[in-house]
C-alpha cells in the first residue's frame, strides 16, 4: 500500500457524494474566507455568529416543508442581515443583548420546526443536518445553485471592495468622501448571509462561524494587504474543508460502521490552522 | 459678508443636538495658505464644528462654503484627518495602501495596478517623509507615523482645505514638532488652507496665522494676537480669564467661581474653563 | 402534568429558574452577554462526553463549563477576545458532535442538548442541582455589593479592595455553574435567553438592585413554568417556549425604558 493509499482511502475521488461535498465545501470555504476577512476587520464576529444561528430556522423550515435547505438558509439569513443592520447602530452592549435575545427566539423557532420535521416527516437526522451540516447528503442538483450563490457573493464583494475597505478603516473618512456607510455595512452583512448559507450546508448552522472567522483571522494575522488576506484565507479554508472531507471518508474504517462527523474534522483543522498562525509573530518595527 | 477670496467661509453657523445647543453663531473665513488653529477644551464643540464643515453633521442655522460651493459640491475640495484610528485587530492594509485609498477609495470595484496611481502615491509618501515605513501595516505604525500616512491619504487628491481633528493629541514632543512642520509646509509651499483643532494652542503658536477659539458654544476669531487676550477671552467665557505669557508660552487661567484654581503646567498647559 | 415523573422536573426547573434569574441580573448589568452566550456552547461537549463515558451528565457539564471559563479569561488576555473565544468554543462544539456520534445517540442527543428536554430529569438529579444552586446563590449574596459596584465602576471597586479581575473570574464561574445546571432542561442554545430575557425585563421596572433581582427571579420562574406547562400540553420543545417568552418579555420591557429615566442600569 503506497503512502497515497494510506492517506486517501480507496474510492475517494470516484465517490458521488464526496464529489458533491468537495464542490459545495470548496465554494463555502472560498466565499466564507473572502467575506470573513472583512467581518474580522470590522469586529463583527458576533453578528456573523448570530446570523448563522438564526439561519438554522430557515434550514429547519426547509426540512419541514421539503425544499432544499439552501433556499431556507439563504432566505432567513438575508432577512436577519437586514434586521441586524437596522438594529446595529445602537450602543454595543444593548445591541448584543437585543441581538442575543431576539435570535434566541429564532433558535426556539428552529427547535419547533425541527420537532415538526422529525415528527411528521420522520427525518430524524434533521437536527444534525441543520445544526451540524450534512455535507455528504447534499443532492447533486444543489451544486450549481450553491456555487452560483457563492459566485454571486464574490462578485458583490468585489463591487464594494474599495468603499468597504475605506469604511472599515474609518467610517467618518468614508462618509466625508460621500460613501453611504450604512449601505456598505448592509451589503457586507448580505454577502455574509450568502456565505452563511453555504457554510451552514457544509458544517451546519452553529459551526459555520468557524468557517467564516477561523481562516480569515489566521490570514489577517499573517498578511499585509486585504487582497492577500482573502487569498490566503481561501486557501486555508480549502485545506481545512477538503482535508476534513478526506478524513471523514477515511474514518469509515476506524470505528467500524460509524464514521466520525465531517464537521468535527473541518472545525478541528480550522482551529489547528488558527493556532499555527499564532506562532509566527512578525517583528514590529516602531519608531521611537 | 462673503469674502470672494476665501477657501472656507463659515457664516453664523449654529449646531444643536436634541436638547442642547453646541455651537452658536460661529463665523470666520480662511484664505488659501492660511494656517488656522481651532482651539478649545474637550467638549467645546471642535469636533462638531469640523464635522459640520465636512458635511457629516447638519447645522441648525448658518452656512458653510468651500471655494464658493455650499452643498455636496464641496466634498472634493476637502481633505480630512480624523481624530483617532483605533484598530480592533491587525488591519491587513499597508501604509501605502491607505494612501492609495485616498485617491480612489470611493470608487466601486477592485483596484487594478496603475502606473499613474503608483506614481501619485510615491509622491505623497515622499512629501510626508513616509517612504521608510510605507510597506508596513498601518496598525503596526507609531502614532506619529500613522498621522503622516493619514495626512498623505487626505492630501493625495490635492484638496484646497485640510481639516485635522486633534492630530497632536497622544503624540510625543518630537512627533508633534514633525507634524506641525509638515502642515506648515503644506500651507506655505502648496497654498493649502489648514484647519487644525487642538486643546492646547502652544505647539501651534509659531505657525498659526489665525485662531478660532471656542468656548461656551461661541467663537472668538481673528489673528492670534487679537484673540488670545484677557479681555476677549473673558468676554467669551463669561467670566474673568487671565492670559499669561511665560517663556513664549501662553497659559489661559480661570479664576473665580467657587475657588481659585490657577493651573500652570510646564510642558502642556491646559486651559481651565469654569462652567458656571 | 403533575404526575410523579414530572414532579422531579418541576423541582429542578424551579431551582434553575431562581438561579438563572438572579445571575441574569448581573449578566445584564455587567455586560457579559458574550460569555453567557458562549459558555453553554462550550459546556455542550461535556454532556456528550458524559454520555459516552457513562457518567452523570452534570459532571461532564461542570468540567467543560469550567474549562470554558478558564478559556475565556486566558484567551481574552492576549488576543482579540471574540475571535479566539468563538473559535475555541466552536471547536469544543465540534468535539461534542464527535462524542455524540460515537455514543450512538447522535440524533436525539443533539436535539435534547441543544434545545432542552424535561423527560430526562430523575430523582437523582435534584440533589446536585440543588447543591450547585445553593452555592451560586450563596456566593451572589455574599458578594452582592462588590459585584454591583464593579459593574458600575471597576475603579471604585478596586479602591475598596475588590480586584476587578478576580471579581470577573468569580462571576464567570457563577455563570458557568448556572450553565451547567440549566443546560439539560433548557438546552445549550436557550440558556442565554433564560438568563437575560427576564433580567432585562426586571431592569426596566425595578428601581433598586435587590428589587431587580427579586423581579428577575419572578419573571424567570414565570417563564420556565409556563414553558414547561405549554411544552407538556402541546408536546412542542421547551426551548421554543423559553425563547419566545424571553424575547416577548425583553421586547415589552423596552417600551417603558424608552419613556422612563428611573429604570435601573
Query: Which pLDDT tens digit goes with each residue over B74-108?
Result: 888 899 998 876 655 578 889 999 999 998 888 88
> Which residue in B85, B89, B110 is closest to A41 by CB distance?
B89
> Which residue in B55, B92, B110 is closest to A223 by CB distance?
B92
Least confident of A170-174, B174-178, C83-87: C83-87
The pair phi, psi for residue B65, each rounded to 5°, is -130, 135
> Which residue in A159, A226, A229 is closest to B108 by CB distance?
A159
Q: In this structure, are B54 and B130 located in the same domain? A: yes
Considering Cα of B201, then B202, then B203, then B207, what sign does the dihedral take? positive
B174-233 residue pLDDT tens? 888 889 999 999 998 888 999 999 988 888 888 898 999 888 888 888 888 888 888 888
Q: Is residue B2 part of a domain?
A: no
Q: In this structure, are B176 and B96 located in the same domain? A: yes
Domain boundary residue, one of B227, B244, B260: B227
The pair phi, psi for residue B195, each rounded to 5°, is -125, 110
Q: Can you name the residues that pair with B252 across neighbouring β-strands?
A: B243
Q: In this structure, are B207 and B276 located in the same domain? A: no
State the CB neighbour count (10 A cutoff) for residue B93.
24
Per-residue pLDDT, A268: 93
DSSP state of B247: T
pLDDT above 50: residue A125: yes
pLDDT above 70: residue A100: yes
- Put simply, the answer to whether B88 touches A41 (Cβ < 8 Å) is yes
CA–CA distance, A211 with C265 (Å, rounded to integer):
36
C8-29 residue pLDDT tens? 888 889 999 999 999 999 998 8
**Residue B39: how many CA atoms within 13 Å on its side-chain side?**
31
> Which residue in A162, A220, A223 is closest to B89 by CB distance?
A220
Q: Is residue B221 part of a domain?
A: yes
The pair phi, psi for residue C47, each rounded to 5°, is -65, -40
Three-state SS string over A138-195 comes to CCHHHHHHHHHHHHHHHHHHHHHHHHHHHHHHCHHHHHHCCCCHHHHHHHHHHHHHHH
| Confidence band for A287, pLDDT divided at 50, 70 and 90 | very low
- Put simply, the answer to whether A104 touches C86 (Cβ < 8 Å) is no
What topology does CATH give the domain A11-275? Answer: ABC transporter involved in vitamin B12 uptake, BtuC (1.10.3470)
Tell me which residue has cell 498562525. Answer: A277
- Put simply, the answer to whether A111 touches C98 (Cβ < 8 Å) is no
Q: What domain count does chain B have?
A: 2
Relative to beta strand B210-215, strand B218-223 is antiparallel
Best of A104, A262, A264 to disrupt the C interface (most C CBs within 10 Å) is: A104
Q: In this structure, are B262 and B196 located in the same domain? A: no
Q: Is residue B134 part of a domain?
A: yes
Tell me which residue has cell 470554558. Answer: C68
Spatial contact of A75 and A51, defined as CB atoms under 8 Å apart: no
Helix or strand (DSSP H, E) at C170: helix C164-186
Residues with Cβ < 8 Å from A156, sequence gap 6 or more? A187, A190, A191, A194
pLDDT above 70: residue C257: no
Considering Cα of C128, then C133, then C136, then C141, what sign does the dihedral take? negative
Instruction: Please tell me the pTM assigned to this model.
Output: 0.84
Best of A36, A173, A236 to disrupt the B interface (most B CBs within 10 Å) is: A173
Tell me which residue has cell 484664505. Answer: B31
Q: Using CB atoms within 10 Å of the CB of residue A109, give its burial: 0 to 12 exposed, 13 to 18 middle, 19+ buried.
A: buried
**Residue C67: how many CA atoms within 13 Å on its side-chain side?**
17
3-state secondary structure of B17: strand
Closest residue, chain B, to A169 (C-alpha): B85
DSSP state of B209: S
Least confident of A6-10, B169-173, C98-102, C216-220: A6-10
Spatial contact of B146 and B183, defined as CB atoms under 8 Å apart: no
Q: Can you name the residues that pair with B11 across neighbouring β-strands?
A: B63
Q: Is residue B3 part of a domain?
A: no
Average pLDDT over residues A13-23: 86
CA–CA distance, B45 with B222 (Å, rounded to integer):
18
CA–CA distance, A93 with B25 (Å, rounded to integer):
37
Interface contacts (A, B; CB < 8 Å): 107
A174-231 residue pLDDT tens? 998 889 988 998 899 889 989 988 888 888 888 888 999 999 999 998 998 899 999 9
Question: Could you tell me the residue ranges of all domains in chain A?
Answer: 11-275
Per-residue pLDDT, A154: 94
Q: In this structure, are B263 and B194 located in the same domain? A: no
**Residue A261: how many CA atoms within 13 Å on its side-chain side?**
31
Q: What's the mean per-residue pLDDT of chain A?
A: 84
Per-residue pLDDT, C80: 54
Q: In this structure, are B259 and B158 located in the same domain? A: no
Min Cα separation B68/chain C (Å): 43
Domain that holds residue B268: 229-276
Q: In this structure, are B125 and B41 located in the same domain? A: yes
Neighbours of chain C (3+ CB pairs under 8 A): A, B
Using CB atoms and an 8 Å cut-off, which of residues 126-155 of chain C contact chain A? Answer: none
> Which residue in B72, B91, B108 is closest to A41 by CB distance?
B91
- The CA–CA distances, whole Å, from A229 to A17, A191, A271, B237, C157 equal 31, 17, 17, 52, 43
Tell me which residue has cell 498623505. Answer: B152
CATH of domain C4-259: 1.10.3470.10
B93-147 residue pLDDT tens? 899 999 999 988 888 888 888 899 899 999 999 989 899 999 988 888 888 888 8
Q: In this structure, are B48 and B173 located in the same domain? A: yes
Spatial contact of C100 and A263, defined as CB atoms under 8 Å apart: no
Q: In this structure, are B152 and B254 located in the same domain? A: no
Per the model's pLDDT, the better-predicted residue between C254 and B29 turns out to be B29
CA–CA distance, C111 with C46 (Å, rounded to integer):
15
Contacts of A49 in chain C (CB under 8 A): 86
| Chain A residues near any Cβ of chain B (below 8 Å) | 37, 40-43, 158-163, 165-166, 168-170, 172-179, 217, 219-221, 223-229, 284-287
Contacts of C80 in chain B (CB under 8 A): 88-89
pLDDT above 50: residue B261: no
The dihedral over CA atoms of A111, A265, A212, C62, expressed in degrees to the nearest 10, equals 60
3-state secondary structure of A113: helix
CA–CA distance, C91 with A270 (Å, rounded to integer):
9
Q: In this structure, are B135 and B261 located in the same domain? A: no
Average pLDDT over residues A115-131: 78
Contacts of B89 in chain C (CB under 8 A): 80, 83
Average pLDDT over residues C94-111: 81
Q: Can you name the residues that pair with B36 across neighbouring β-strands?
A: B195, B210
The dihedral over CA atoms of B127, B128, B133, B135, expressed in degrees to the nearest 10, equals -60
Task: Check if C102 contacts A (Cβ < 8 Å).
Answer: yes
Closest residue, chain C, to A117 (C-alpha): C236
CATH code (residue B149): 3.40.50.300
Q: In this structure, are B108 and B235 located in the same domain? A: no
Tell me which residue has cell 462561524. Answer: A209
| Chain C residues near any Cβ of chain B (below 8 Å) | 80, 83
Q: In this structure, are B252 and B184 located in the same domain? A: no
**DSSP-H helix ranges across B105-243:** 115-127, 143-155, 173-190, 224-227, 230-237
Closest residue, chain B, to C79 (C-alpha): B89
| Confidence band for B273, pLDDT divided at 50, 70 and 90 | very low
- Put simply, the answer to whether B105 touches A42 (Cβ < 8 Å) is no
Q: Can you name the residues that pair with B69 across neighbouring β-strands?
A: B66
Closest residue, chain B, to C84 (C-alpha): B89
Relative to beta strand B61-66, strand B20-30 is unpaired
State the CB neighbour count (10 A cutoff) for residue C125.
20
Amino acid at each position: 500500500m503506497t503512502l497515497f493509499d494510506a492517506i486517501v482511502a480507496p474510492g475517494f475521488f470516484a465517490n458521488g457524494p464526496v464529489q458533491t461535498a468537495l464542490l459545495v465545501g470548496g465554494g463555502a470555504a472560498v466565499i466564507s474566507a473572502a467575506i470573513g476577512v472583512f467581518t474580522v476587520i470590522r469586529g463583527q464576529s458576533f453578528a456573523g455568529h448570530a446570523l448563522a444561528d438564526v439561519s438554522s430556522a430557515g434550514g429547519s423550515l426547509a426540512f419541514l416543508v421539503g425544499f432544499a435547505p439552501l433556499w431556507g438558509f439563504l432566505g432567513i439569513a438575508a432577512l436577519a442581515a437586514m434586521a441586524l443592520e437596522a438594529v446595529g447602530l445602537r450602543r454595543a452592549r444593548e445591541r448584543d443583548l437585543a441581538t442575543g435575545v431576539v435570535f434566541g427566539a429564532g433558535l426556539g423557532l428552529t427547535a419547533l420546526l425541527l420537532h415538526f420535521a422529525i415528527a411528521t416527516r420522520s427525518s430524524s437526522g434533521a437536527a444534525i443536518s441543520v445544526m451540524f451540516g450534512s455535507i455528504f447528503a447534499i443532492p447533486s442538483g444543489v451544486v450549481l445553485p450553491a456555487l452560483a450563490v457563492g459566485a454571486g457573493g464574490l462578485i458583490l464583494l468585489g463591487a464594494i471592495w474599495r468603499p468597504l475597505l475605506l469604511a472599515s478603516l474609518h467610517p467618518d473618512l468614508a462618509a466625508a468622501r460621500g460613501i453611504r456607510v450604512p449601505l456598505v455595512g448592509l451589503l457586507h452583512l448580505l454577502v455574509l448571509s450568502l456565505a452563511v448559507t453555504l457554510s451552514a450546508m457544509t458544517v451546519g448552522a452553529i459551526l459555520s462561524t468557524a468557517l467564516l472567522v477561523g481562516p480569515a483571522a489566521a490570514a489577517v494575522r499573517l498578511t499585509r494587504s486585504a487582497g492577500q488576506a482573502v487569498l490566503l484565507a481561501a486557501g486555508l479554508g480549502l485545506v481545512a474543508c477538503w482535508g476534513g472531507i478526506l478524513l471523514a471518508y477515511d474514518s469509515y474504517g476506524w470505528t467500524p460502521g460509524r464514521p466520525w462527523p465531517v464537521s468535527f474534522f473541518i472545525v478541528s483543522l480550522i482551529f489547528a490552522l488558527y493556532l499555527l498562525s499564532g506562532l509566527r509573530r512578525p517583528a514590529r518595527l516602531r519608531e521611537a | 459678508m462673503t469674502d470672494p477670496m476665501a477657501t472656507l467661509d463659515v457664516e453664523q453657523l449654529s449646531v444643536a443636538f436634541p436638547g442642547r445647543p453646541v455651537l452658536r453663531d460661529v463665523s470666520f473665513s480662511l484664505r488659501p495658505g492660511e494656517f488656522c488653529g481651532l482651539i478649545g477644551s474637550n467638549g467645546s464643540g471642535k469636533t462638531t464644528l469640523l464635522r459640520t464643515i465636512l458635511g457629516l453633521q447638519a447645522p441648525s442655522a448658518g452656512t458653510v462654503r468651500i471655494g464658493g460651493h455650499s452643498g455636496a459640491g464641496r466634498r472634493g475640495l476637502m481633505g480630512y484627518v480624523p481624530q483617532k484610528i483605533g484598530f480592533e485587530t491587525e488591519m491587513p492594509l499597508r501604509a501605502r495602501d491607505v494612501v492609495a485609498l485616498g485617491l480612489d477609495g470611493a470608487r466601486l470595484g477592485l483596484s487594478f495596478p496603475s502606473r499613474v496611481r503608483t506614481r501619485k502615491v510615491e509622491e505623497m509618501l515622499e512629501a510626508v517623509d513616509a517612504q521608510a515605513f510605507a510597506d508596513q501595516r498601518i496598525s503596526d505604525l507609531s502614532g506619529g507615523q500613522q498621522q503622516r500616512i493619514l495626512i498623505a491619504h487626505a492630501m493625495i487628491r490635492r484638496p484646497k482645505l485640510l481639516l485635522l481633528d486633534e492630530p497632536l493629541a497622544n503624540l510625543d514632543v518630537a512627533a508633534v514638532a514633525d507634524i506641525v512642520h509638515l502642515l506648515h509646509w503644506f500651507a506655505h509651499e502648496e497654498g493649502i488652507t489648514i484647519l487644525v483643532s487642538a486643546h492646547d494652542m502652544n505647539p501651534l503658536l509659531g505657525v498659526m496665522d489665525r485662531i478660532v477659539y471656542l468656548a461656551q458654544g461661541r467663537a472668538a476669531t481673528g489673528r492670534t494676537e487679537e484673540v488670545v487676550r484677557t479681555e476677549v477671552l473673558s468676554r467669551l467665557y463669561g467670566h474673568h480669564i487671565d492670559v499669561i505669557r511665560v517663556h513664549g508660552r501662553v497659559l489661559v487661567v480661570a479664576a473665580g467661581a467657587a475657588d481659585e484654581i490657577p493651573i500652570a503646567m510646564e510642558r502642556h498647559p491646559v486651559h481651565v474653563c469654569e462652567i458656571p | 402534568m403533575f404526575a410523579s415523573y414530572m414532579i422531579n422536573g418541576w423541582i429542578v426547573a424551579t431551582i434553575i429558574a431562581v438561579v438563572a434569574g438572579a445571575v441574569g441580573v448581573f449578566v445584564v448589568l455587567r455586560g457579559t452577554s458574550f460569555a453567557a452566550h458562549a459558555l453553554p456552547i462550550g459546556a455542550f461537549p461535556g454532556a456528550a462526553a458524559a454520555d459516552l463515558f457513562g457518567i452523570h451528565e452534570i459532571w461532564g457539564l461542570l468540567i467543560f463549563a469550567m474549562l470554558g471559563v478558564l478559556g475565556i479569561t486566558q484567551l481574552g488576555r492576549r488576543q482579540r477576545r471574540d475571535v479566539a473565544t468563538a473559535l475555541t468554543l466552536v471547536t469544543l462544539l465540534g468535539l461534542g458532535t464527535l462524542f455524540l456520534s460515537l455514543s450512538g445517540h447522535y440524533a436525539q442527543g443533539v436535539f435534547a442538548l441543544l434545545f432542552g428536554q424535561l423527560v430526562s430529569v430523575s430523582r437523582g438529579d435534584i440533589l446536585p442541582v440543588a447543591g450547585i444552586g445553593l452555592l451560586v446563590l450563596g456566593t451572589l449574596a455574599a458578594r452582592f455589593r462588590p459585584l454591583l459596584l464593579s459593574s458600575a465602576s471597576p475603579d471604585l471597586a478596586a479602591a475598596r479592595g475588590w480586584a476587578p479581575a478576580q471579581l470577573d473570574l468569580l462571576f464567570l464561574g457563577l455563570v458557568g455553574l448556572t450553565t451547567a445546571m440549566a443546560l439539560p432542561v433548557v438546552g445549550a442554545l436557550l440558556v442565554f435567553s433564560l438568563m437575560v430575557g427576564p433580567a432585562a425585563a426586571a431592569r426596566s421596572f425595578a428601581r433598586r438592585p435587590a428589587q431587580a433581582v427579586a423581579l428577575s427571579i419572578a419573571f424567570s420562574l414565570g417563564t420556565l413554568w409556563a414553558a414547561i406547562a405549554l411544552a407538556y400540553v402541546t408536546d412542542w420543545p421547551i426551548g421554543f417556549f423559553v425563547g419566545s417568552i424571553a424575547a416577548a418579555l425583553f421586547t415589552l420591557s423596552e417600551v417603558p425604558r424608552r419613556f422612563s429615566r428611573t429604570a435601573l442600569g
